[in-house]
Amino acid sequence: MPHTFTGTRANGLAAMQAFLPLMGQHYASGRNYDHGPDGHRSVSGLSPYIRRRLVTEQELVATALRTHGPGSAEKFVEEVIWRGYFKGWLERRPQVWTQYALGLASDLATLDRDRRLRRDVEQAMAGLTGLDCFDAWATELVATSYLHNHARMWFASIWIFTLGLPWRLGADFFFRHLLDGDAASNTLGWRWVAGLHTRGKPYPARADNIATFTGGRFALGPGDLDPVAQGLEATEPEGLPPVLPLRRFTTPKPGQPTALLITDEDCRVEDFDLASLDLRTTATLAASHLRSPLAVAKGVAQFEAEALADAATRLALAAVPLRADHPEALAQWAAHAGVTQIVTPYVTRGPLHDWLQQAAPHLATKGITLCEWRREWDSAIWPHATAGFFKVRQHIPRILAQVLPD
């Protein structure tokens, strides 16, 4: 795994090629081991690139299968599909994202009033709790904008069940710092640890498990971690909200005066049909600051800026740099170019989708329609993302047959 990340497709492809020999049995047997910030050699480090589709899931899975075969590459392929499962699950239950955003606002308001809670949260984020493993992970996250997936689970469990801190504040801490952070994986990952995703099945951080899978780097005492008797399901007694149909979206109309909008939801825009559009203007939209009401890490904004610039460069298009501040600015940019539609790759549930919803009335008053492309990869996975991952897993052969070339 590279120790530094640069937000370009070339860098993502180089990282993919470097990890290619390890995508088979090496990954399956070593992926759960966290050897520290200088030792992440059994995981790919590709997630920041996949998150922005500088490298697509489809090409990554095809490369792994071609090199290692379906048996050896099975675990690697499943882990790639997990991200699509989480995105689809949140698309089918968008109420969960709304609940998270409202709950975070409430937790932040409580933080302003409660000095003891504010002190405890600040100490946790600064790595000053006195728990060596937790403090090391907090420091690594802030310093590198990355954390091993197993460490993320342990960290979240300790935050919730040992430190007794509000889970949404922990999720927000991750979202503000992780280069690969997205609304679905981050929110649902924390909910899973808390016992809210798979109801009544929280994830307990255990001293022996941490010692084993960190190669003995951390030795916790018998009383360092609180036992986890139950999750937080009592905080949501109504249970999970009902599954909804996938939201409808408008596809681009060929030949119409068009503005192209590039966001870090999908920076491989050349995969879509641009030739049929009467393209009048292009813009990149910086939106990483929308992740939280608090300050988002500079590294996240920098990686986003690099990815957006790289996407425009690969298209050989001069792009207007926009920032997702007041949504009226989006309508003004498009109206100034005389277009009737803005086209962009599909934007999943999360802060950017919320912002575009706020922009919709401004676009409508100027006669401009927001149009989207949705990838075949997402369309193949999301209909199955209604319950646990098992339902998606059993359909993986059919999904791959649908989305991969012969």
Q: Which residue has the tokens 């949404």?
A: 168
Do 226 and 116 belong together in one domain?
yes
What is the per-residue pLDDT for 149? 96
Q: Among candidates 352, 357, 343, which has minimal Cα distance to 281?
A: 343
Q: What is the rounded CA–CA span in Å between residue 400 and residue 84?
A: 13
Do 220 and 267 belong together in one domain?
no
What is the per-residue pLDDT for 222? 81
Do 261 and 367 belong together in one domain?
yes
Does residue 158 belong to any structural domain of this protein?
Answer: yes
Do 100 and 230 belong together in one domain?
yes
Render each residue's pLDDT in the chain as its tens digit; 406 residues: 444 799 999 999 999 999 999 999 999 999 999 999 989 989 999 999 999 999 999 999 999 999 999 999 999 999 999 999 999 999 999 999 999 999 999 999 999 999 999 999 999 999 999 999 999 999 999 999 999 999 999 999 999 999 999 999 999 999 999 999 999 999 999 999 999 999 889 999 999 999 999 999 998 988 899 999 899 999 988 889 999 999 999 999 999 999 999 999 999 999 999 999 999 999 999 999 999 999 999 999 999 999 999 999 999 999 999 999 999 999 999 999 999 999 999 999 999 999 999 999 999 999 999 999 999 999 999 999 999 999 999 999 999 999 997 6
Residue 171 and residue 242 in contact, taking contact as beta carbons nearer than 8 Å: no
Does residue 66 belong to any structural domain of this protein?
Answer: yes
Does residue 326 belong to any structural domain of this protein?
Answer: yes
For the chain, the domain total comes to 3
Domain containing 19 equals 9-91+381-403
What is the per-residue pLDDT for 221? 87
What is the per-residue pLDDT for 2? 43
Burial label for 374, CB within 10 Å (0-12, 13-18, 19+), is: middle
Q: What is the pTM of this model?
A: 0.97
* CATH code assigned at 165: 1.10.579.10
Q: What is the rounded CA–CA span in Å between residue 307 and residue 290?
A: 17
* CATH code assigned at 272: 3.40.50.620
Burial label for 71, CB within 10 Å (0-12, 13-18, 19+), is: exposed
Do 391 and 349 belong together in one domain?
no
Do 269 and 355 belong together in one domain?
yes
Kindly write down the DSSP assignment for every residue of 302-316, as one continuous string. HHHHHHHHHHHHHHT
**Three-state DSSP class for 22?**
helix
Does residue 1 belong to any structural domain of this protein?
Answer: no
Bridge partners (DSSP) listed for residue 372: 344
Does residue 2 belong to any structural domain of this protein?
Answer: no
Do 38 and 119 belong together in one domain?
no
Does residue 245 belong to any structural domain of this protein?
Answer: no
**320-323: strand order across its sheet:** 320-323, 278-286, 257-262, 341-345, 369-373
Do 270 and 207 belong together in one domain?
no
* CATH code assigned at 391: 1.25.40
Do 219 and 165 belong together in one domain?
yes
